[in-house]
Amino acid sequence: MLTVVVITYIYSSNRRKKVFKQQKRRGQPQKNTIVPAKTSKNATTSAEERQQGLLQELLDLDKAFESSQISKTVYQERRNKVKARLRSLMREEEATRR
C-alpha cells in the first residue's frame, strides 16, 4: 500500500514539473496565477481596436480557464468585467453613430 502511494506521489510530482516546464517555455502563467488584463496604453486607439482588444481578452480568459490556469470564480469575475466594458464600449460607439 505504501509503495503505491509513493509511486503515485513521484509520478504526479514529475507530471507537475513537466507541465510547469512546458508552460514556462510557452510563456504561459502557472495554475492559479493572475492573468493580467491586456489593455492598450495608447489613449487614442479607435473604438474598433479597443473592442478587438476586449474580445481578445475574453478569448485569453477562456483559454486560461480551459487549461486550468485560473479558477472558475476568477474566470467568471474577470469575464463579467470584460463583458461589461465591451457592452459599454459598444453602447458608446452606437450612440456616436446616431
Residue 28 burial (C-beta neighbours within 10 Å; 0-12, 13-18, 19+): middle
Cell 474577470, located at residue: 78
pTM: 0.53
- pLDDT: which is higher, 31 or 50: 50
Asked if residue 87 and residue 61 are part of one domain, the reply reads yes
pLDDT in tens, 35-75: 555 554 444 468 888 889 999 999 999 999 999 999 999 99
Asked if residue 48 and residue 82 are part of one domain, the reply reads yes
Asked if residue 39 and residue 4 are part of one domain, the reply reads no
Q: How many domains does the chain have?
A: 2
